[in-house]
Amino acid sequence: MTSMPKPFIDKHLPKNELGLTVRNYEGVMSTLCAGCGHDSVTAALVQAFWELGLAPESAAKVSGIGCSSKTTAYFMGQSHGINCVHGRMPSVATGANAVNGDLHYIGISGDGDSLSIGFGQFAHAIRRNLNMLYIIENNGVYGLTKGQFSASADIGSTTKKGVPNEQTPIDPCIQALTLGAGFVARAFSGDKSQLVPLVKAALKHKGFAMIDVISPCVTFNDHAGSTKSYAHTYKYYHPLVHTDFVAHAEEITGQYAEDGAMRVTLHDGGELRLRKTDSDYDPRDKAQAIETLMINDGGGEIRTGLLYLNEDMPDMHAANKLPQTPLNQLPYEALNPGKAALASLQKRYR
C-alpha cells in the first residue's frame, strides 16, 4: 500500500488572501477508519490555516507514532512534516523550533503518545514554553494495537468486552496547567465551530498552546461502556468559554464593545474574544481552571473551551535570547571566530 493523493478539484471554491482555496491546504487521503474523530481535527486544521491565510509552506508538522500521529500527512501537503518515534515529537519540535522560529509548528499527538510513552517530553516541552500548537487527539484507547486502554481512560470506562479501567486517568489539561502552559484548551472533534477558532487562536499564541481534543475512536471505544464515545461526549460536553478569533484584517469597531466579551490581543496578531458561558469562569485564573477541571460533580461533565490563557510568559526563543534571523539562516561568517581568534584563545592553554 502506498500513500494516495486526493483528487484535486477546486473550481468555484472561495479563495483566501493568498489566492488559495481550502483544497490547497489538504494532504494525502486519510487511511483512518471511516468516522474517526481525528479526520474532523484534520479538517479543522485545514480550515483554520486557510482562514488565517497562512502560506502552507510556513507550517512544520511534527508527530510521533499512533493513529493521531499519522494525520500530519493528511493536511497541508505543501508543508514539511516529520513523523518521528513514539512519544518523542516534542523533542524534535524543540530542536526544529530553536533553529527557525519563523515557522508555525503543529504537533499532533495522541493520549498514548503524550500521556504514556511520551509523558516526559510532553511535560518538558511545556516547561520550555515552546512556541507551538500541540494537539492531543484523545480517545482513551490504543487504536493501532487494537483497543488497549490508554492513560486517559476514565475509571470505570470499559473495553468493548466490558472490562472496566481501574487506574486513575491522566488529564492533559490539568497537567499542562500545573506545568505552566500559557494556552490550555479542550475541545470535541464533533464540534467544528468550537475547534476552528481555538486552532486559530492557538496558532497565534506565542508559546505552548495545547488543545486536548476528545476525538472518539469509532472502532475500539465508541460503545455504551466508554466515556469517550461520541454519544457520551455529545451528552456531557460543556463549553465554559466561547472563543472567537478575529484577525487584525477585519479590525473591530465600537459596535461590538458592549457584547460582554473579554478581548485579548495576541502577540502574533489578531484578537481573541472570549465569552463566558458560565458567568463565574475566568480563563485568566489558573487556580480556578485547575479547580474546575478537578471537581467531579458526579455528572461526568466534560468542560471545554479555552480554559486558560496567559500571554505574558517568554517563550523558548525569548528565554534563550535567540536572534531575529533564525539560527539555520545565519551565514557561516557570523558563526566562525577565525584563525586569529583561535591563536589568541590558545594563550590560555600554554
337 touches another protein (CB under 8 A): yes
Residues 166/154, Cβ–Cβ less than 8 Å? no
Helix axes 286-294, 172-179, angle to 10 degrees: 160
Residues contacting another protein: total by CB under 8 A: 62
Q: Which of 302, 306, 303, 292 is nearest to 262 (CA)?
A: 306
Q: Which is nearer to another protein, 81 or 283 (CB)?
A: 81
Classify 340 as helix, strand or coil: helix
> Taking CB under 8 A as the criterion, which residues in 136-155 touch another protein?
none
167 touches another protein (CB under 8 A): no
47 touches another protein (CB under 8 A): no
Among 55, 224, 231, 249, binds another protein (CB under 8 A): 55
Q: Which is nearer to another protein, 69 or 243 (CB)?
A: 69
121 touches another protein (CB under 8 A): yes
C-alpha neighbours within 13 Å on the C-beta side of residue 231: 6
Helix axes 119-127, 89-99, angle to 10 degrees: 30
Residues 274/242, Cβ–Cβ less than 8 Å? yes
Among 145, 148, 277, 320, binds another protein (CB under 8 A): 320
19 touches another protein (CB under 8 A): no
11 touches another protein (CB under 8 A): no
Residues 229/222, Cβ–Cβ less than 8 Å? yes
Among 32, 54, 103, 126, binds another protein (CB under 8 A): 103
Q: How far apart are CA 218 and CA 147, in angstroms?
A: 11
Binding stretches for another protein (CB under 8 A): 1-3, 28, 55-58, 60, 62, 72-73, 77-85, 88, 90-100, 102-103, 120-121, 123-124, 128, 320-324, 327-328, 330, 332, 334-339, 341-343, 345-346, 349-350
